[in-house]
Amino acid sequence: LELEPDMIIVYYGVTDLNARLVHPDDYNGLYLRRGLIDVTPQPLPWSALYRYIRVNFFDVNYNNSFAARTIPIPGVRPCVLEIVNDEFMCTNLGMSAHDLMAANPPIYFENNMRNLVAVAQANNIQVLLSTWAYYPTESFDIPNYMAAAFRQDAIAEHNAIIREIGGGLNVPVYDLFHRMEE
């Protein structure tokens, strides 16, 4: 709000899916790596203090590598994905990734999107929502992170929520997913 935007464009991504890849008892709407992304906007957000404490008091090697920027919060059991018999399994949780996504429906994603729209509208900021587009198949002999069926099913759920919110709150939706299919 401090930036006083006229419009915001909301385009979600893989982190919104990853928030669901935790043990069902730990699924509470907080992304398991929240507050540890290496950004330093001015003024510094509260998460800077959190990062400072983690790095200086808990022996966290914090550098610019992706692994260092995505350190799990203690007490949250994230899925450790492995392919077992051609299926993505969360071997440490004893369930498939598909079953884990089903156990953790995108209720927090929907709440966050609705709250984001409500705050923007309450401050006379126009909102444009966008569905997520991705390349759904394997190509170029490089494994495609998004080719897994459990991820595609989750994206379909999230995109449906974006469309529903757009229609219900009279917010335009740019459907990148369907444009990519054309």
| Spacing of C-alpha 169 from chain mean position | 22
d(CA 118, CA 124): 10
Q: What is the pLDDT of residues 146-170, one digit of tens each?
A: 788 899 999 999 999 999 999 999 9
Residue bearing the bigger pLDDT, 128 or 143: 128
User: Which pair of structure tokens corresponds to residue 20?
Assistant: 């669901």
